Chains A and B, each alone.
Chain A
Amino acid sequence: MSSARDTIFAALKAGYRGRHESAATVGTDAHLARRAPHLVPARAKPENRKAALAQFTAMAEEASATVARVHTMIEVPGAVADFLRAHNLPMRAVMAPDPFLDAAHWERRRTLEVRKGRAEPFDEVGISVAWRGVVETGTIVMLSGANTPTTLNFLPETEIVVLPADRVVGAYEEALAPLRGTAEEGAKHTLPRVVNFITGPSRSADIEQHLQLGAHGPRRLHIIIVDDQATPA
């Protein structure tokens, strides 16, 4: 091991002189194995599904996202086209190659040109699928993976996210729980390369403390909630 590492640990150990070492190890191991949120605010515990969706929508809109709601996947391409038309955007998008989105039958809407893959610099609109929506702050949670490239969330000026209603949860920790596994699984368990919590479109207040949308990431974030869909992935 490197000498810098040894030096740093020696300095730390010197600071911990007098600490009961075996108790410290037991304590930290127990803490690392814990899988329990600390203090979840009441606003992250909606009474029922209806309240959850209403609050998610309100919070997302407060963060300058826009939210649409459709009944089934088959209506999603229409909702996408409506949004693009309303904002005078091209009917062309790059889309996550997620089989989940196939149920929307994009090929039936001929005016909308969709390419599957990761986003390239010239792409103006990206479409992807959310892993979860979080009521607490109107946040969507996106995972990296072969079916959901991360560039879709950052390169295009317009980001459209499909969120199945049954993937809406209360608190951040609920979105992470299925990804973490139990402590016994230990090192075998691995998070996706990237988990993105996204709350509204990109923004900056670096010019005279004046908030502007669309700094480097998307200028627009449009969330399409689909009521009647399959269970969480």
Chain B
Amino acid sequence: MNAFSPRDFKANALRALADPDLQRALGNMRQGFIERRRSAAARLPEFDALRDKARDIKQHVIGHLDLYLEAFEKSVVANGGTVHWAKDGTQARDIILNICRLVGAETVTKGKSMVGEEIAINPFLEANGIRPVETDLGEYIIQLRDEPPSHIIAPAIHVNKEQIADAFRKHHRDLAPERPLTDRGALLSEARRALRERFLAADVGITGANFLVAETGSTIIVTNEGNGDLTQTLPRIHIVIAGIEKVVPTLDDAMALVRVLARSATGQDMSVYTTISTGGKREGDLDGPEQFHVVLLDNGRSALIGSEFQEVLRCIRCGACLNHCPVYGSVGGHAYGSVYPGPIGKVLTPALVGLGEARDLPNASTFCGRCEEVCPVRIPLPKLMRYWREREYTQKLSPPRTRWAIRLWAFGARLPALYHFGARLAAFWLYRRGKKGGGRIASLRLGEGWTRFRDFPAPQGKTFQSQWRGARRHRAAP
């Protein structure tokens, strides 16, 4: 696996733009997700009202997270389950390893879980002699390729089918090497067969959770493949890992959120499997796990409560903001060097790994606003990115030249006469420069960040304000 850090965003983004395989894969996404969400929303007249409701429910939870977590814990225990609390990834990994060791686990199957990625559970289990097997098809593909997911609901969206075939040939050694693997159906069938054996052999199943229900002590997963259900039904132990912000008060709240989740994510009216799990095997049950554990992860979330960033905790991880983001659509998920890519990652990652590490991410936006427009819980993502940019400045994390330029601009902006004079001067100077290049400027000192990749269109010579004044004079004199 390549070094994976948000520090390398700019270099990674450049590499991604020049990667033909990746660009082809991203093309599939742009056609698919956007159109499907649009038509799902159009089919449901109440969709926007439901989004308001979803926002209100999650906002209410953010104001009372402690009380609902206490209620959730009480309900889980009442149903014979166990709740574990983890301050950070280290604690969460240790809790999971201890449970696995107590039952002598050799193999662990995993349903797709972003928190699992966040705490990097797989390499940790492997280092401790336990074999983790991802069972979501996309996660399985990238596990074989030894790389992180590039999308929160479509982890292998950057991979083409030829690359999948290569990975299968390399890892499914027991099959005939010359077997044809050209069509997608053959790839799916082969993965299904390979994973069946893993499901049956596993001692522990780990899943994430889309929602935790305080009323009933239930965890809810939403999937399309059914892998999450096999993961949690067949082994003796079921471990759920979830961020503390996933709790909702009641089943009514959960159902309200379910109505916007799939429509925003894949454009389905409802995902194939929405599974509500409450405790372990009951008396008389013929199947199901004997033990039910819930590991609740904080990892920087509690620190957001009461801060200007707390609205990001409303996120239900649907991925709509990624699908609609022009930056994500151009560079894909890996460039971000973060478990959470795209607009949500630009806000969440600095909170999880520190702004010093991730300061490029909130800047990787044109503020076009599509992410906020499609968010099912209406998180004001551009506003939150702007807050990070402010912090970057006040904490002196941005480079000196940027800070110097911002200070200069701020100084001028407070003195209108000086500002207008400067703007007129700049407009005139750029106009003169552009005349030689036919209205375009190919290189600009202090503006290389722009001109290295594209020409700068030269202004017409006059500022907007002077043109406006001119036009008004013209109209006033008939």
- Chain A interface residues toward B at CB < 8 A: 2, 4-5, 7-9, 11-17, 19, 24-25, 27-28, 31-32, 34-39, 41-43, 59, 63, 97, 117-118, 121, 136-137, 139, 144-146, 149-151, 153-155, 171-173, 176, 180, 187, 190-210, 212, 214-218
Contacts and interface: CB of A to CB of B under 8 A. Distances in A.
B53 to A, nearest CB: 5
21 contacts: A4-B85, A11-B305, A15-B303, A16-B306, A24-B64, A35-B252, A36-B252, A38-B256, A39-B256, A41-B46, A43-B44, A146-B282, A149-B287, A151-B286, A153-B229, A154-B233, A172-B255, A173-B252, A197-B276, A202-B224, A215-B225
Interface string B127-140: 00000000111100
A31 B259 CA distance: 20
B272 A63 contact: yes
Contact of A204 (B225, B233, B307): B225
Contact of A194 (B44, B266, B276): B276
Given A38-B256, A154-B230, A195 B276 contact: yes
The 7 lowest CB-CB distance pairs between A and B, nearest first, are: A217-B226, A15-B305, A146-B284, A15-B306, A215-B225, A206-B138, A11-B302
Given A31-B60, A187-B78, A193-B288, A8 B154 contact: no
Nearest to B188: A212
Given A8-B85, A42-B46, A118 B184 contact: no
Contacts of A63: 268-270, 272
A154 B215 CA distance: 27
Interface residues of B, number: 105
A172 B196 CA distance: 31
Interface string B288-326: 100000001010001111110010000000000000000
B166 interface: no
B79 interface: yes
B207 interface: no
A27 B66 CA distance: 13
Contact of B251 (A41, A43, A180, A198): A180
A215 B45 CA distance: 31
Contact of A38 (B53, B85, B141): B53
Interface stretch (B155-163, B344-352, B373-381, B427-435): B155-163
Contacts of A32: 71, 214-215, 249-250
A25 B28 contact: no
Contacts of A43: 44
A12 B75 CA distance: 20
A205 B266 CA distance: 10
Given A14-B306, A201-B272, A216-B192, A193 B184 contact: no
B45 A8 contact: no
B264 interface: no
Contact of B184 (A2, A155, A190, A208): A208
B258 interface: yes
Contacts of A35: 250, 252
Q: From A38, A39, A197, A216, name the one whose CB has the most chain B CB atoms within 10 angstroms.
A: A216
A150 B287 CA distance: 7
A194 B475 CA distance: 73
Contacts of B281: 193
Contacts of A171: 255
B226 A187 contact: no
Chain A at the B interface: SS class: loop
A12 to B, nearest CB: 4
A37 B249 CA distance: 13
Given A214-B188, A215-B137, A215-B225, A121 B303 contact: no
B113 interface: no
Contact of A176 (B25, B251, B298): B251
- Most-contacted residue by chain B among A63, A173, A197, A201 (CB, 10 A): A197
Nearest to B195: A216
B327 interface: no
A187 B75 contact: yes
A15 B255 CA distance: 28
B25 A198 contact: no
Contacts of B161: 207-208
B16 interface: no
Given A35-B252, A38-B252, A193-B285, A207 B184 contact: yes
B448 to A, nearest CB: 37
A108 B29 CA distance: 52
A2 B284 CA distance: 34
B187 interface: yes
A209 B28 contact: yes
A9 B281 CA distance: 30
Nearest to B306: A15
Given A144-B285, A207-B164, A217 B229 contact: yes
A5 B307 contact: no
A67 B421 CA distance: 74
Of residues B32, B141, B270, B282, which shows the largest number of chain A Cβ atoms within 10 Å of its Cβ? B270
B338 interface: no
Nearest to B215: A32
Interface in B166-223: 184-185, 187-188, 192, 195-196, 199-200, 214-216, 218
A25 B69 CA distance: 13
